Structure 1
Amino acid sequence: MAMSAPLALDDWGGTGPVLHLAHANGFPPGTYRKLIELLKPRYHVVTVRNRWLVPGTDPLEVQTWDDVAGDLIQALEAQGLEGVVGVGHSLGGVATLLAAARQPRLFRAVVALDPVLLTGRLLLAVRGLSLLGIRGWIPPASQARRRRERWSSREEAAEKLRGKPLFQRFDPECFQDYIASGLTSTPEGDFRLTIPRAWEARMFETSPRDAWRSLRSLSVPTLMVRGGDSDVFFPEALERVRRTVPGVRTEELPNTAHLFPLEQPEECGRRILSFLESTHTR
């Protein structure tokens, strides 16, 4: 379902062509501060303030990730932006790919970082669970719905979260940026998740209508990067990307997982800038 009004763009500054960064589910844009700072000398970075960052929005309004792509299109068009560099991670990577396939004039190039593109039995299973209406009952959606949402302080949150497997490979600065931006103070004096767990769960229990069909019409210069140890963007999906997307460039980042933009932001930034330089995206 489309938003009644365009979502706002947050301006991170920088010099050069506009670059939009779309973040992963559960990780607000501020978590990517270190990567953003690496991009700013060459690009003017903006991020959409997505629905889950807008108080009072209903997660059930999103039916598929195509709605997220539509929000991005609407936000860019509302600002009169065209020829934007689209960079996206995970969910954000898929939304950016879908938006570029639908409205190529809005993008001069796309970089998708470990996008959630499923294949084979896993794709069939996800579709089946969605048709049965029980996808929200299993991980990762069920885990997101049960996760702890409030802490007495940022320090307590950092202490509890640091040892979780999800964060063990994080760059130390990126972890601190998550604690700073991923938690929001409440009127009661404690801290809650900036992205409510109901929203995080909703994005885990939905997916694109047909990502592979959309990707066949992608016409802008595109780079897709897979974390070498990713348990989300599998080698089979990377191979299917090569067969599906005309002229796509694909790379793997060794010894990294799905969250590699937050594990190795410097190397991630270098890969992005090198690709954009090779396409003369300045």
Structure 2
Amino acid sequence: MSCASTTLGTGELWSSMVDRVLEKIGGQGAPLLFAHANGYPPGSYRELFMHLEDHFEIDALEHRPLWGGREPPRRLRWQLFVDDLLSAMEGRYSQPVWLMGHSMGGVIAALAARQRPEKIAGLILLDPVFLPDRFVIAARLMSEKKRQQMPMLRRALSRPEHFESHAAAFEFYRGKRAFKGLSDDALSHYVLASKAPAPGGGVQLRYSGAWEAAVYGSAPSARPLMKRMRVPTLAMRGQDSDTLRPEIWARWQHWQPQARFLEIPGGHLFPLETPQATAHAAIKYVFAD
């Protein structure tokens, strides 16, 4: 795999990073680039990819929090992630590509499509993090200390980052409400993808709580983004999602009436909870003709 030598915002040379951050999943068919959720590395979506591989040639981009640094920039802008995705596309594809993104990854995919629509065949957005404008504005105006007290950020910063083993991590998450909809296999994929050996023994989060909180605290506004969208779009929401709220879902349909909107059984993690239904909806949309 070759890639153009594009200098990134923090000084890394993209051509020396590409094999590490752009994972070739496999499959055959239409090119599809996947952007993962905040805290969920690409390996978490193994079952979803398995159901897509007969129709798509899939690559997945690892976002910067997985590149090794534990601490994010003091003032994070999501444009950093968009630049990474566009750089990967520039070096990897000679034709327009389908972008599929979950949660944070869905917003990044949409931002990339707004900037370079000629590079995008279409969008498949899975429960993107479209937060209420009041949350976005408040997060921007608050001091860093106050921002870290917001419930969503506080939860991210308080998550345990170290476990004795992958098995111990599995048992911890198996008892958490957020993961109740995942099968044991799906939860195992998440645990293996999200934990790496820790220097002092055991395993630790690959995607630190500090990065997770910084991402939530710097989310962009959805309204101006989706009102200007001009590429084919399939929007999916988990029927029980507590992230893409029903009121935002309804507004999105008003902002982008030409898009296709579907609700899928499950919560915010429906791509992991019901991967077959998610993949089937994407395949049906892309290959409808």
Shift of 1:245: 1.9
Match of 1:169 in 2: 181
Q: Which amino acid aligns with 1:251?
A: L
Q: 1:194 to 1:239 in 2, by over 3 A?
A: same
Are positions 1:11 and 2:24 aligned together? yes
Shift of 1:79: 2.6
Shift of 1:252: 1.0
Contact 1:212 1:244 in 2 (8 A): yes
Are positions 1:230 and 2:241 aligned together? yes
Aligned pair partner of 1:261 in 271, 276, 281: 271
Shift of 1:126: 3.4
Contact 1:28 1:182 in 2 (8 A): yes
2: distance between equivalents of 1:32 and 1:167?
14
Task: Report Cα offsets for 1:64-87 as digits up to 9, x if no partner.
Answer: 223222221122113344411100
Match of 1:85 in 2: 98
1: distance between equivalents of 2:99 and 2:251?
21
Match of 1:43 in 2: 56
1:36-185 map, 5 Å: 36-56=49-69, 58-60=71-73, 63-119=76-132, 123-133=133-143, 134-185=146-197
Match of 1:217 in 2: 228
RMSD: 1.8
Contact 1:216 1:246 in 2 (8 A): no
What are structure 2's unaligned runs of at least 5 residues? 1-7
Shift of 1:61: 6.1
2: distance between equivalents of 1:193 and 1:173?
19
Are positions 1:28 and 2:41 aligned together? yes
Task: Report Cα offsets for 1:99-119 as digits up to 9, x if no partner.
Answer: 111111221011101111133
Match of 2:281 in 1: 271
Could you tell me the TM-score, scaled by structure 2's length?
Answer: 0.89
1: distance between equivalents of 2:211 and 2:131?
21
2: distance between equivalents of 1:111 and 1:202?
25
Q: 1:74 to 1:58 in 2, by over 3 A?
A: farther
Are positions 1:199 and 2:211 aligned together? yes
What are structure 1's unaligned runs of at least 5 residues? none
Shift of 1:194: 1.5
Q: 1:202 to 1:81 in 2, by over 3 A?
A: farther
Task: Report Cα offsets for 1:164-201 as digits up to 9, x if no partner.
Answer: 11111113221010111111112433100121221112
* Percent of residue pairs identical: 32
Contact 1:224 1:250 in 2 (8 A): yes
Contact 1:174 1:262 in 2 (8 A): yes
Q: 1:198 to 1:276 in 2, by over 3 A?
A: same
Shift of 1:247: 1.2
Higher mean C-alpha displacement, 220-229 vs 6-15 = 6-15
Q: 1:3 to 1:40 in 2, by over 3 A?
A: farther
2: distance between equivalents of 1:3 and 1:260?
33
1: distance between equivalents of 2:56 and 2:123?
14
Contact 1:14 1:41 in 2 (8 A): yes
Contact 1:116 1:233 in 2 (8 A): yes
2: distance between equivalents of 1:125 and 1:49?
26
Could you tell me the TM-score, scaled by structure 1's length?
Answer: 0.91
Contact 1:25 1:91 in 2 (8 A): yes
Contact 1:34 1:174 in 2 (8 A): yes
Task: Report Cα offsets for 1:82-103 as digits up to 9, x if no partner.
Answer: 4111001100111111111111
Shift of 1:2: 3.0
Contact 1:126 1:135 in 2 (8 A): no
